[in-house]
Amino acid sequence: MEIVVRSSPTPTPLLHIPVACRLPMESNTPSDISSAPNSQQENDGLVNDRNTHSTNNEENADEGSSHFQKKKRLKTSPVWADFTEVKMPDGTMKAQCRFCKGRLAIISSSSTSHLKRHLKTCTPKAAHDLKQQKITLQAVDSGCNQEKHVTPALTDGKFDMMKMRESIAHWILMHEHPFIIVEEEEFNMMQKHGMLERENVSRVSIKKDCEKVFEIEKNKLKNLLKSVSKISVTTDMWKSTNQKIEYMVLTGHFADSNWQLQKRVLSFIHLPPPHRGLEIGDNLYKCFKDWGIENKVLTISVDNASNNDSAVRILSELFQGISYIIEDIHETVTFINQNEGRLNLFSEIVQQLQLPHRKLILECKTRWNSTYQMLSAAIKFKEVFPMYKEREPRYLCCTNNDDWLKVEKFCWIRSLKILAKMSLFMKPKFDKYWGDCNLMMSIGAILDPRCKMRVIEFCFPRMYPENEACENIDKVKKALYALYKEYADEYYSSSGEGNGESVGLRGNNVTIQPSSSGWSEFAQFVRTVENIQPQKSDLDNYLEESCYICEEDPIPFDVLQWWRSNSLKYRILSRMAQDILAIPITTVASEATFSAGSRVIDTYRASLATETVEVLLCGGDWCRSLYGLKRKKKA
């Protein structure tokens, strides 16, 4: 009997030694030569099992003790990194591509030229190589659920300096760094260590980059606000001690499509003197026009400064002084719609001016919302009415330019709480804050499903005398239903449906054509013999249900998310809750911007242009929202 003694992985032959000359095996001798690089398990005479060793050696003993075996030649070409050897059913060996799985012949002369040619034309390999060249830089997760927006400066193996400059502009805006920081030697040395292709940027160039980022983010925010039905704003005034000038900040508050409460600094503008209520109101209106939200503002929260009181009073007087203009426009629409000839003349002028609008709306004087719709439609034809007057001598109610300006402002403030229909139930004069019943805060509390009407029934008797408490509860309830009616009217007018909440089955008055099945005749019979109760509104159903009992949870109760999950159940009321619950109760959001303003306009940058200040303050707020970051306090 013979045994096989395994040598080192060098290509020396295996020696067959008689049993009588058997040597003891050392413990550190390798037990399997297959662990050596590029070794082949198919080599004759190399097996793993000890019994198999004996069997093979017995068979080989007949051939003589001078039998030697050689290892296969090592594959040194780098092309084999992309190919593997596979054994075909007929026993031949093929080279299989790692990418397309194609199989090519293995030439006995070890030539690999045909393999190299295949790799040059292999489409999957080309796609793999292109993917390997791309380096994506991931943003650090700050714990925010918002999507991260990081543009890699290295794409397709090439360094893009413009993308790098955009990232630097974001960094400066977010952290309120001065423009000159990009010219500091240490900053440029640090950047060069990581990116040899990077070019130095001047403070003038980076200022222009920040302005570009400001415009880009402003357009994004404008598009976002187009999908918002109502927005509440806070505003405040601040005087820069370094520049000796006054600024006005405007902050928007709204709930987005995901029912997340959002806050954005919309404007940070220089307000030249005088700072009277008239100037404040005019500048607010200009800001709203710039953002395209003049018809979406629900509330304006201001502090108790006297000039803010004056601004509110001026807006109130505007409402009172526009009554004669509303009457004139009502008479105008009535006059034009009186006969077909007048209507055709009006349509001809509209076509001559190539206006896209085609319809005038006549108000119903008992409905506040219809008055607004009439004015909004008429203002689109303000250029038509003077020409119409020239051609129609009997038309005498033409509105002048000053009156149209008042109508425009009136349409803007029609959504403010001082002008909404619920304001009809408020006292003409009331104490500030909680001196009298605060309707908006009360309605907001009712829209919390944990509170509903129970909250004012519980609190008001503790806040007011008994008679006054009952009056205030009734006042809040009337204002709540009046506000809900506006949302219901808007919902059904936009959806093209009738008000389905006033009757049990829609179309009771519609003539039903007989059908072969007989179901339509049966339905008509049911309507005549049964007393169908009116369908309840979302608001009625919400108030009649029990308060939501919120068990103690480590996660605080999110009222907006509750309404989001119940938006299908309360289609109209959920829209109202989305707007009302986004109203801020303080002006802290606007005042907080001034702390950043004092850092931006420091003693070294007192000469900053007011436009640049707005870019820095607003752009910084937008970039922080973009990346889901919060402003960090600075000393």
Q: pLDDT tens, 241-263?
A: 888 899 999 999 999 988 999 99
Return phi, psi of residue 264, to 5°.
Answer: -135, 140
Distant-in-sequence, close-in-space partners of 363: CB < 8 Å, separation ≥ 6: 326, 330, 333, 370, 371, 373, 374
pLDDT tens-place string over residues 497-512: 554 443 332 333 333 3
Q: Is 211 helix (H, G, I), strand (E, B) or coil?
A: helix
Instruction: Read off the pLDDT of each residue in 341-356 and give the average, rounded to a whole number.
Output: 86
Distance of CA 482 to the CA centre of its chain: 32
- Sheet of 231-240: strands edge to edge? 261-270, 245-255, 231-240, 297-301
Residue-level pLDDT at 209: 94
Taking the C-alpha atoms of residue 43 and residue 36, their distance in angstroms, rounded to an integer, is 13
Residue-level pLDDT at 206: 93
Interhelix angle 277-291/306-321, nearest 10 degrees? 70
DSSP result, 368-420: HHHHHHHHHHHGGGTTHHHHHHHH-TT------HHHHHHHHHHHHHTTSTTTS
The residues pairing with 246 across neighbouring beta strands, listed in sequence order, are 239
pLDDT tens-place string over residues 267-302: 999 988 887 777 887 788 788 888 988 778 888 888
In Å, how far are 155, 200, 435 from 188, measured between CA atoms? Answer: 22, 7, 60
Interhelix angle 368-378/401-413, nearest 10 degrees? 140
Looking up tokens 């707020």 gives 621
pLDDT tens-place string over residues 89-105: 888 899 999 889 889 99
- 254 membership: H or E segment, kind and range: strand 245-255
Taking the C-alpha atoms of residue 40 and residue 32, their distance in angstroms, rounded to an integer, is 11
- 95 membership: H or E segment, kind and range: strand 93-97
∠ CA 427-429-430 to the nearest 5 degrees? 85
Beta strands at 231-240 and 297-301: parallel, antiparallel or unpaired? parallel
How many beta carbons lie within 10 A of that of residue 277, not counting itself?
Answer: 18
Torsion of CA 264, 270, 273, 275, to 10 degrees: 0
Looking up tokens 């001016």 gives 353
pLDDT tens-place string over residues 16-42: 333 333 334 444 433 333 333 443 343
Residue-level pLDDT at 314: 63
Mean pLDDT, all residues of the chain: 74
Instruction: Tell the burial category of 133 from Cβ atoms under 10 Å away from its Cβ (0-12, 13-18, 19+).
Output: exposed
